[in-house]
Amino acid sequence: MDAQDQKKLFRLAMEAKETSYSPYSKFRVGAALLTKDGTFFKGCNVENSSYGGAICAERTAYVKAVSEGHRQFRALAVSTDQEDFVSPCGICRQFISEFSNAEMPIYFLNNKGEHREFTMGQLLPLAFNLENHIERNHEKS
């Protein structure tokens, strides 16, 4: 990913927080996703009075992209209003891994726009996904 795409990804992740619907937690989260073909998608967390109905910003961005036909991604950025760097929850890590290889960069942005970079493989080692099933099945035969 070039510097221009990275800058745009970070800006969109920060912007995405603005539409967060989080009246219960007051914890705004924004995400921005870059597809292989260079399309950007934003997502925010959307909560519900029935708490289990809430969806995180990362999954919102992925659902928007996947439902528009995108299956391959280059990078994801996640922003919050916290001074600390906040990482995706367990459900999101599983969800993201469905559409990412272990090398895909995932950036955490704090409230100052500073970032930390990790890879999908760091966030979810030994992921349960199609790729690993295929590798395991090959090893057996």
16 binds Zn ion (CB under 5 A): no
Rule CB under 5 A: choose which of 89, 116, 132, 134 binds Zn ion: 89
Q: Does 29 bind Zn ion (CB under 5 A)?
A: no
* Least distance between Zn ion and beta carbon 5 (Å): 24
Reduce the secondary structure of 21-43 to three states and give it as a string.
ECCCCCCCEEEEEEECCCCEEEE
Residue 25 makes contact with Zn ion by CB under 5 A: no
C-beta atoms surrounding 35 within 10 Å = 19
The single-letter code of the amino acid at 102 is A
Nearer to Zn ion, 59 or 70 (CB): 59
Q: Could you confirm whether 114 is annotated as catalytic?
A: no
SS3 label, residue 19: helix
How far apart, in whole angstroms, are the C-alpha atoms of residue 49 and residue 4?
A: 39
Residue 92 contacts Zn ion per CB under 5 A: yes
Rg (CA), the chain: 15
Amino acid identity of 74?
Answer: R
Asked if 56 touches Zn ion (CB under 5 A), the answer is: yes
Phi/psi for 38 (5° steps) reads 95, 15
Q: Which stretch binds Zn ion (CB under 5 A): 5-13, 23-31, 60-68, 87-95?
A: 87-95
Shortest reach from residue 55's CB to Zn ion, in Å: 8
Q: Which of 15, 58, 114, 139 is an active site residue?
A: 58
Known catalytic residues are 58
Q: Which residues bind to Zn ion, rule: CB under 5 A? A: 56, 89, 92
